[in-house]
Structure 1
Amino acid sequence: MHFVIMGCGRVGSTLAHSLEDAGHTVAIIDRRADAFRRLGSHFMGTRVEGEGFDRDTLLEAGIERASALAAVSSGDNSNILAARVARETFGVDHVVARIYDPGRAAVYQRLGIPTVATVRWTADQVLRRLLPEGSSVEWHDETGTVQLAEVAVATAWVGTRLSRLEQESGARVAFVTRFGEGVLPTADTVVQDGDLVHVVMRESEVAHVESVFARGPQQEG
């Protein structure tokens, strides 16, 4: 598959090498020619100097045959514009834009443009470890009805089956991060200390799910 990357900073150059190492073809765009030095001499892809939202620049990068575009430059406006041009003009289904302003990221997510709000994501991940309560949204559908979120689980749930957690909260456990690895739960999977539980739920039920996860299992009988 062919991928187009806008922005040859640390993120863009890392993506380029990762995709190329996986056997894909890559074209990377940057308005500064000296940015391509990050790629090194072993990068076999295409280097295109120009603006990533410019039609001719994108054509030179092979956007017409691209499977996806990642806009990861240092400018929010440029990234969003490039993502929109790729999707709306060239029909690229898979686009993602790096956004520094979390408020903007939320708006564009609702418009159907996947975004990565880097500063917000990093801060959220730190806060999840400092203040282990509530939930952290990881994805939601375009209508804002359903979301995938990491929800903090009280230690009172340790040793309890995840199916019990689902039954009391009404949420669906999608997967668990355990010792840094993703685990798909079975009917017998129980909550372990340190688990990060990722659930699918309706946004209207977030407060209820959070409260159930925080209080521990109800006493039976």
Structure 2
Amino acid sequence: MHVVIMGCGRVGSTLAHSLETLGHSVAVIDQDGDAFRRLPADFSGVTVTGVGFDREVLIQAGIEHADAFAAVSSGDNSNIISARLARETFNVGKVVARIYDAGRAEVYERLGIPTVATVRWTALRMVRHLVPDALPEVWRDPTSVVSITEVPLNPGWIGQPLKAVEDACGTRTAYLMRFGLGILPTGSTVLQDGDQLFMLVTDDIVDAVRHATGAAPTPAH
């Protein structure tokens, strides 16, 4: 597929290289021509000097036949304007924007524009490593209804089928972390010592789910 990237900083240049390595055609836009020096010497894609929300600049980058567009410049306003232009004017199917302001990111997610709120994401990842129990939620959908939350696992569940835990708390498992690796559970998955459990929840059931998994199973389980 053809991907247009606005911004040739560290993220944009790394993204361009990664996509080209995967076999996709790439065009990179940046208003600073010197920024293209960050691209690998063997980069074979298109580079366009200009503002990423200028229609003519986007057309030079091949936006009219692009399958995807990524706005990863250092400016929130530029990123969101160009992302909306790509999606609403040029009908690009896959559009994502990097946003530093987490509040704005939530607004644009609700408008249907996927965003990566870099500062908030980085800060939350750091907190998760430093204080693992402080932030059990690891993902929330754009409508803010469903989230993936890490739940406590009482030792009494070890050796039990994962389905028993799901039946006890009334929801399903998104994934397990086992020996540092993420795994997708199956109907035959049995919980092991050290497993980290991440479950799909809504705000109205999250407390009940965490209580159920954190408590010892009843004799019926």
Amino acid corresponding to residue 220 of structure 1 in structure 2: P
Is 1:70–1:95's contact at 8 Å kept on the other side of the alignment? yes
Amino acid corresponding to residue 22 of structure 1 in structure 2: L
Matches of 1:78 and 1:192 in 2, distance apart?
Answer: 48
Matches of 2:154 and 2:126 in 1, distance apart?
Answer: 19
Matches of 1:203 and 1:17 in 2, distance apart?
Answer: 39
Is 2:175–2:199's contact at 8 Å kept on the other side of the alignment? yes
Matches of 1:76 and 1:172 in 2, distance apart?
Answer: 36
Q: What is the total number of aligned residue pairs between the two structures?
A: 218
- Per-residue CA deviations over 1:22-75 (Å, capped at 9, x if unaligned) read 111000111111110000321000001111111111111111111111111111
Matches within 5 A, 1:46-65: 46-65=46-65
TM-superposed CA distance for 1:202, in Å, is 2.8
Is 1:165–1:217's contact at 8 Å kept on the other side of the alignment? no
Amino acid corresponding to residue 136 of structure 1 in structure 2: E
Whether 1:121 aligns to 2:121 is yes
**Correspondence for 2:110:** 110
Matches of 2:204 and 2:191 in 1, distance apart?
Answer: 25
**Correspondence for 2:17:** 17
Identity among equivalent positions (%) equals 54
- Per-residue CA deviations over 1:141-178 (Å, capped at 9, x if unaligned) read x443333x141333534443321221122221122233
Amino acid corresponding to residue 219 of structure 2 in structure 1: E
Matches of 1:81 and 1:208 in 2, distance apart?
Answer: 41
Is 2:150–2:198's contact at 8 Å kept on the other side of the alignment? yes
167-176 vs 193-202, which deviates more? 193-202
Is 1:99–1:115's contact at 8 Å kept on the other side of the alignment? yes
> Residues 194 and 48 from structure 1, CA distance in 2 versus in 1: closer, same or farther, beyond 3 angstroms?
farther
Give the root-mean-square deviation of aligned CA atoms: 2.0
> Residues 47 and 183 from structure 1, CA distance in 2 versus in 1: closer, same or farther, beyond 3 angstroms?
same
Unaligned runs of 5+ in 2: none
Per the normalisation by structure 1, the TM-score is: 0.88
Is 2:161–2:189's contact at 8 Å kept on the other side of the alignment? yes
Per the normalisation by structure 2, the TM-score is: 0.88
**Correspondence for 2:145:** 145
Matches of 2:120 and 2:192 in 1, distance apart?
Answer: 28
TM-superposed CA distance for 1:134, in Å, is 5.3
TM-superposed CA distance for 1:189, in Å, is 1.6
Partner-residue secondary structure (3-state), 2:59: helix
Unaligned runs of 5+ in 1: none
Matches of 1:143 and 1:123 in 2, distance apart?
Answer: 22
> Residues 210 and 53 from structure 1, CA distance in 2 versus in 1: closer, same or farther, beyond 3 angstroms?
farther
Is 2:109–2:143's contact at 8 Å kept on the other side of the alignment? no
Matches of 2:116 and 2:168 in 1, distance apart?
Answer: 32
**Correspondence for 1:132:** 133
